Chain A
Amino acid sequence: MTIPRRLFPARVVVVLLLLGAAAPARAQRGDRSQSAPASAPSPVRASTAVAPRHFWGAFSLGNATASLACSVCRDVSDRSVAAGLTLGVRQTPRTYLAIQLDGWYRFSRGENDRVYSIGPLVQYYPVAKRPLFVRLGLGWASYLATDEDEHLSSRSVAAQIGAGYDFIISRSYLLTPFASYMRGGGGRLSLNGEQASIPAGVEMLQYGLQITLR
């Protein structure tokens, strides 16, 4: 489905931020019946010394609107399924480092579009005892489009910003609704193997749910 860019994903991010600021206790309430996972932020955890490093991983699934961005690109974006895989380490109780691999895929009437991105990111909990985090990343992103006869590709550096809110669902697992925005630019654009003299990049707005293992 091809849709003009709208404000909907921005509203999602605002709602997440408001939830995180207004009701941290709700996320914590669910933990009282079980011991909090070693890596979940908590009032007790935040006042202790820095915990030993732990590996963590996450898988996300959701929706994203993606588009090719360039000076002559049409101002339309397509919404379809997106998924991601994140592997990293906990640097401090509030700072997590990781490598993230993201993908987006759309297929319609013989047209096949994909976005791939990979790069390091930092996930940071700005307020102790709050499960709200922000995420910043910088990596590579590619847009690939094919139909029956032709193929188009773009590859560029891309920056990412996002936010999420952890819900503890067990000792080791978190359920996290999240949203993120990625924008690349200045990259190579090629059509049928020939490089065009037009710098381009990927733009993607993503939201979904993430299962985190810590």
Chain B
Amino acid sequence: MLNKSHCAAFAASALLACGTPDYSVAPVQPNGGTARAYGLWTPSVRETCTKAQHDKYSTVGPDGKLYPTWHPPTEPETGCTFGHEHGRDPRGSDLYRTVGPIPLGYANDRLEIWDAANPRNEDHFGHKFEWENDVEMNAGSSLANRFFDIRCDILVKFHQGTHSKDAFTNNLHELVYHIRCNDGTELHTTFMAAVGTPGEFEASCDRRRIRVGPATPANSPNGGGVRIIPDVECVKRHMMVTGTRESNFNSALHESWETSNSIRTEDGHTLAHFNPYFQVDAPSRYFDPNAPNITGRPVDMCYATGPNGERATGGLCQVSTNNGATAGVTWDDPRSKFNGVARFVDINSNIIDNAKGPAVWYTDPFGQNAATKPFPGSIKQFIAPIAGVLNPEGPGLGGRRNYGGIGVRAPN
């Protein structure tokens, strides 16, 4: 059970510093400061926990500041509700002993030091954890798979907010990626992942490119990968149906944030490349240029009737509103199952090209310009000193888990 005590956080960091010989979390002396991400959450009338109960889930980051960290959707001691969840409890991960509590928003804070004029602040809700131990990986070819049994421990934290308009334009999202495999592949990285092109996304149902507007910050770099998000056309086409058909909520609403991440040196050499895809089945929003805040709410479509009598029926509308019969279920009502809880991560490939080492690098907040010494705003990264040949590819994680709990609702 994590608590707010600085002494406890310091002791935990010291204990975890004993981890593996090659990677360990060095003990950090708290400096009394708090990160920008700390204390962002305030309970609404629907939540029964206090702010103090929530904020005690904290940890000291590598910079000595206090950061929020993972917490359950309800407080175990009292059962009070926080109204949101952060995915799988990371303390069950075999990597947790090595990496310790993960500070949420650390890369965002480092960006503010590295480029104070162009900060990127993310909300508290969107931080999501997923992990799995001893994952059987694909060794990359039928020949390699015949001979090799590659197993990895994987722990990831990604900021993926699916309740607001943020991701329609903003492509910078904090990613914490830990992986350790029995073939020597090992990465411990934290950075602001640039997912796709700033200012635009692709519609989930047909991959139309939708240009929305300027991103925040304005100088957001273009990333590999893409953000695939539903828009009103997808909702009308697949959710609003006639006759006896049932809505296809997956085709209408499924989001896929397909990242392509490279850790590169100052001279452009790629030390590591990995590309997890983060999927959400039932977000609480879609892009609608005509809606308030350009944000449409799927649950509202459960009550709507199209010009030709189209209705949204079955599935999530059945569960959330009894196909519209239960009035008054709003997008932020716990009864609405359009809440971003159903998620999974496709791990995909992991490539390391760092044979000459060292294992420890310092990069800018985007994972670029890796150097062997720290600099203002830099983030410490660990990349195993190998040149990977097997390049393990991972499966999807979390598809069978439901992280919803009592009181969990959008925004989540």
Binding site for B on A (CB under 8 A): 68, 70-75, 111, 145-147, 149-152, 190-191, 194-198
Question: A74 to B141, Cβ gap below 8 A?
Answer: no
Question: B182 to A152, Cβ gap below 8 A?
Answer: no
Question: Of B143, B146, B182, B386, which one neighbours A71 at CB under 8 angstroms?
Answer: B182
Interface of chain A, main secondary structure: strand
Residues of A within 8 A of B148 (CB): 70, 72-74
Question: Of A74, A190, A191, A197, which one neighbours B386 at CB under 8 angstroms?
Answer: A197
Question: A197 to B147, Cβ gap below 8 A?
Answer: no
Shortest B161–chain A CB gap in Å is 38
Binding site for A on B (CB under 8 A): 141-144, 146-151, 182-184, 355, 386-390
Shortest A61–chain B CB gap in Å is 27
Question: Of B143, B389, B390, which one neighbours A145 at CB under 8 angstroms?
Answer: B143
Question: B389 to A68, Cβ gap below 8 A?
Answer: no
Question: B389 to A72, Cβ gap below 8 A?
Answer: no
Shortest B293–chain A CB gap in Å is 51
A-B contact pairs, 24 of them (CB 8 A): A68-B147, A71-B182, A72-B182, A74-B146, A74-B148, A74-B149, A111-B143, A111-B146, A145-B143, A145-B147, A146-B143, A147-B142, A147-B143, A150-B141, A150-B142, A151-B143, A152-B144, A191-B143, A191-B389, A194-B389, A196-B183, A196-B390, A197-B183, A197-B389
Residues of B within 8 A of A111 (CB): 143, 146
Residues of B within 8 A of A195 (CB): 389
Question: Which chain B residue shows the least CB distance to A75?
Answer: B149
Interface of chain B, main secondary structure: loop
Residues of A within 8 A of B355 (CB): 197
Q: A191-B389, A197-B386, A197-B387 are known contacts. Are A152 and B143 too (CB-CB below 8 A)?
A: yes
Question: Which chain B residue shows the least CB distance to A152?
Answer: B143
Residues of B within 8 A of A149 (CB): 141, 143
Q: A147-B143, A150-B143, A191-B144 are known contacts. Are A73 and B149 too (CB-CB below 8 A)?
A: yes
Q: A147-B142, A149-B141 are known contacts. Are A74 and B147 too (CB-CB below 8 A)?
A: yes
Most buried by A among B146, B355, B388: B146
Question: Which chain B residue shows the least CB distance to A74?
Answer: B149
Question: Which chain B residue shows the least CB distance to A146?
Answer: B143
Q: Which 4 residue pairs spanning A and B have beta carbons closest together?
A: A196-B389, A150-B143, A197-B386, A194-B389
Question: A72 to B146, Cβ gap below 8 A?
Answer: no
Residues of A within 8 A of B142 (CB): 147, 150
Shortest A130–chain B CB gap in Å is 42
Residues of B within 8 A of A72 (CB): 148-151, 182-183, 390
Shortest A154–chain B CB gap in Å is 9
Shortest A108–chain B CB gap in Å is 11
Most buried by B among A151, A190, A191: A191
Question: A198 to B183, Cβ gap below 8 A?
Answer: yes
Question: Which chain B residue shows the least CB distance to A2?
Answer: B146
- Complex Cα gap A73–B139 (Å): 11
